Amino acid sequence: MRYFVELAYDGTNYHGWQLQPNASSVQGVINDALAKLLRPNPAYIVGCGRTDTGVHADYFVAHFDVEQPIEDVDYAKFKLNSILPPDVAVYSIQLVDDELHSRFSATERTYFYRLTTEKSPQMRWRAFHPYFAPNYDLMNRAAEKMIGVQDFTSFSRLHTQTNNNICDVRAAQWELYDGCNWQFRITANRFLRNMVRAVVGTLFDVGRGKISIEQFGDIIEAKNRALASTSAAPQGLSLVDVVYPEGHGFQRRVKGLV
């Protein structure tokens, strides 16, 4: 039997989502909590993707399989939250069809990369405070070149096990929020490892006048990571939405940010 879990986490204290042999991960702490909840039969959580060290998830979906049904999922959610640390929260646990997979069944994902225009102690781990004032109009005109189905090798971490680097980017835009702060919204069917931070870092070069809009397009076409810029700092990045096909027993219980 397969259960989907809606959750969120602050990634500040973790070395990403993925299990790490000698470091704390979000997947690891959830597995530990599930082992206590479901003892003596442990379950292993599978996420909709992986986030890097220091990256957050305002909305994340994962699944686990068990042989016996959970009698009271609301109570299980309550118990799981009581076991988990304060920086990880479970919003729902739902029985779904066995063929629905939290990673491979997702049809769309959205990330926000947030900037704060003023130095803020409260936001230091949730948004990036740049020491420069980027031109958001130039960055948006460059981001338009990302829309569509393309090879994004230039923004991918090297030497991954991915079969191809083709992504269908459906939205990519800087937008004002909270009156004075900015966020980069990017939506695609899939993302490569480190892709969003590499994109943002390269857009910063456009916004600072280091490269032109045309050069940004050339970087995409070159399929060469060495031509793109350094990845943006991790704390500004958050996964905020994951979309699944209708049916299969899953119903979104959390109001989205997008």
Q: Annotated catalytic sites, by residue?
A: 52
φ, ψ (nearest 5 deg) of residue 135: -90, 105
Both ends of the chain: CA-CA distance in Å?
Answer: 31
φ, ψ (nearest 5 deg) of residue 230: -65, 145
Burial of 245 (0-12, 13-18, 19+ CB in 10 A): exposed
Cα–Cα distance measured from residue 171 to residue 25, given in angstroms and rounded to the nearest whole number: 29
SS3 204: helix
SS3 99: coil
What Rg do the C-alpha atoms of the chain give, in angstroms?
A: 19
Q: Which amino acid is at 222?
A: A
Cα–Cα distance measured from residue 57 to residue 80, given in angstroms and rounded to the nearest whole number: 18
φ, ψ (nearest 5 deg) of residue 109: -135, 150
Cα–Cα distance measured from residue 142 to residue 206, given in angstroms and rounded to the nearest whole number: 7
